[in-house]
Amino acid sequence: MSDNASVFWATVKKHVKAKNTTLEWLAKYSGISPNTFQGWVSKNRFPRADMAVRIASSLDTPVECLVSGTVTKNDEILQQLKAKLKTMQLREKLNALETKLPPTDGMTIAEIKLVDAYRQLSHEERENATLSVTIWPKKKKR
């Protein structure tokens, strides 16, 4: 039984590494006490079935994949579809953002350059960008 548990935990660790995260994160995200989770890993024990399902769900993979250590063709297709969906969602966010950018009328040259620089950032750069200056002119009260 410990051989099967070894396969389970090796596969879990492979998925955790692929997601660039940690076992501690996986435990918390799965709603499992980190101490309990670490005990299963260090003692090479299977979690209860409901806990294995939580772990698999948190890793976006079927529990069968974790137990068998194999990746099915359907699982590969599912992962590709999820990646495409994420890309489409990022494009939608970008399009929404670009439509909200103001026209350059009434802006200083520095503000126009800042808006142009922001428009040239990649999706990832925009997600991580924080602007410390106001690029929209304030409306004057009359």
DSSP classification of residue 45 = -
In the block, residue with structure tokens 């940690």: 22
Rounded CA separation 25/32 (Å): 10
Of the ranges 30-44, 74-88, 120-134, which is most confident?
Answer: 30-44
Rounded CA separation 71/81 (Å): 15
Question: What residues have CB less than 8 Å from 69, skipping those under 6 apart?
Answer: 7, 8, 10, 11
Question: Contact, 65 vs 79, CB < 8 A?
Answer: no
Rounded CA separation 79/2 (Å): 29
Rounded CA separation 50/42 (Å): 20
In the block, residue with structure tokens 């051989």: 3
| Overall pTM surpassing 0.85 (yes/no) | no
The pLDDT-based confidence of 123 (bands split at 50, 70, 90) is low
DSSP classification of residue 136 = S
For the chain, domains (ranges, CATH) are 2-69 (1.10.260.40), 101-142 (no CATH)
- Using one digit for the tens of pLDDT, what is the confidence trace for 22-78? 999 999 999 999 999 999 999 999 999 999 999 999 988 888 888 888 766 666 777
